[in-house]
Structure formats: structure tokens, C-alpha cells
Amino acid sequence: MITKRMADRINLQINREMYSAYLYMAMSARMAEAGYKGIANWLMVQYHEEMFHAMKLYGYLQDQGASVVLEAIARPDFKETGVKELFQHVLEHEKGVSASIREIAALAREEKDYATEAFIAWYISEQVEEEKNATEILQTIDLLGDSAQGNFMLNIELGKRKLTVPVNFAELGGAD
Ligand code: FEO
């Protein structure tokens, strides 16, 4: 079992991951409208990654016999229309998620909740990857040049991103 305090904190994280999914879905729509179908693809793959992050937490709560409590998801908050500015927002957003995940790890240590500490280690590593991905895209933008031609090349590159996470959430822990 986990404490009510930990269950509440994990439920909050589910909300934050769902917000991330919603944010990337909105960004994907914005980029598709602007004609950047490849960038929209990358962001929609990211949407699925975030849904996976949320559902892994959901399954963990169920495995621990804790209640899943879903709250309202905030409206996606971004104004950027430029490609570079958009990915700067992505990187800043992911840094915020990393901080949020570290809070859970710290709480697990404080409560000597070794199960949650082991579980959340996956997210700690995942956030290294998330920040790395956004940083590399920003580096690529700088290499190609933040221009129409550069964005066109980036659009082709990001269009190659494939989904690697499961989308059938019934197969995740908790639903069996
Ligand atoms: Fe779920 Fe992008 O962190």
C-alpha cells in the first residue's frame, strides 16, 4: 500500500501528464495548420508518449489498491507560432515535468516508500530522454538555420518519428 499523500501526489502527476498530452496535441494541430506535417507528426507521437506516461501512473495506483481520481485538464497554454520558439516551450515544459517527477522521488524517500521509489526511477530516466530530445531538436534548428528552408528540412526529419509506446492501455498494469 502507499499513503494517501502519495496517492494524491501521483494523481496530480497523472493530471500533469494528461496536460502534457493535451499541450502536444494542441501544438500538433497548430503545426499541421501551418503546413508542417512532419513536425505535427513528431508532436502527435509525443502526445501518445504522454498518454503512456499518464497510464503507467494510473496502472501503478491500481496495482497499489489506491483510488484513481481524475481532475479537470487545463487548457493548453502556448502562444508560439514559430518553430524554434515552440520547441523552446517544449524544452521548458519538460524541465518542469522533470522537477515534478523529482518531487515524487523525494516524497518516496521521505516516506521510505521503496516501491514508489523503484517505480518512479523509470520516469527519472525518461525525463533525461525527454529533455535530450527537445535539446537536440533545438540544436538541429540552429544548425539548419531558423529559416523557411531550415524549417522545411526539420519538417522532413521530424516526420520520420515513429510511435514506440503501446496504445492499448488495457494491457498495462492495473487493468488485469
Ligand atoms: Fe511525460 Fe514529456 O513527460
Q: What is the pLDDT of residues 81-112, one digit of tens each?
A: 899 999 999 999 999 999 999 999 999 999 99
Pocket lining for ligand 1, CB < 6 angstroms: 17, 20, 50, 53, 94, 97, 130
Q: Residue 116: inside a domain, yes or no?
A: yes
**2 CA from centroid of ligand 1 (Å):** 23
Closest atom of ligand 1 to 130 CA is 2
CB 50 within 8 A of CB 21: yes
Q: Residue 34: inside a domain, yes or no?
A: yes
Structural domains in the chain (count): 1
| Res 131 pLDDT > 70 | yes
Q: Residue 23: inside a domain, yes or no?
A: yes
**99 CA from centroid of ligand 1 (Å):** 11
| Res 146 pLDDT > 90 | no
Q: Residue 33: inside a domain, yes or no?
A: yes
C-alpha cell at 35: 503546413
What are the b/e assignments for 142-155, b being 16+ CB within 10 Å? eeeeeeeebbebbb
Average pLDDT for 116-136 = 98
Phi, psi at 23, each rounded to 5° = -60, -45
**What CATH code is carried by the domain that includes residue 53?**
1.20.1260.10
| Res 176 pLDDT > 50 | no
Count CB-CB contacts under 10 A for residue 135: 14
Q: Residue 176: inside a domain, yes or no?
A: no
**H-helix segments, 34-113:** 37-63, 83-110
The pTM score is 0.95
**Protein residue whose Cα sits closest to atom 1 of ligand 1:** 50
Region of residue 36 (phi > 0: left; psi between -120 and 50: alpha; otherwise: beta): beta
Q: Residue 149: inside a domain, yes or no?
A: yes
Closest atom of ligand 1 to 46 CA is 2
Q: Residue 156: inside a domain, yes or no?
A: yes
* Domain that includes residue 125, residue range: 4-73+80-163
Angle value at C-alpha 39, between 33 and 82, nearest 5 degrees = 65
| Res 175 pLDDT > 70 | no
Region of residue 174 (phi > 0: left; psi between -120 and 50: alpha; otherwise: beta): left
Q: Residue 168: inside a domain, yes or no?
A: no
**95 CA from centroid of ligand 1 (Å):** 9
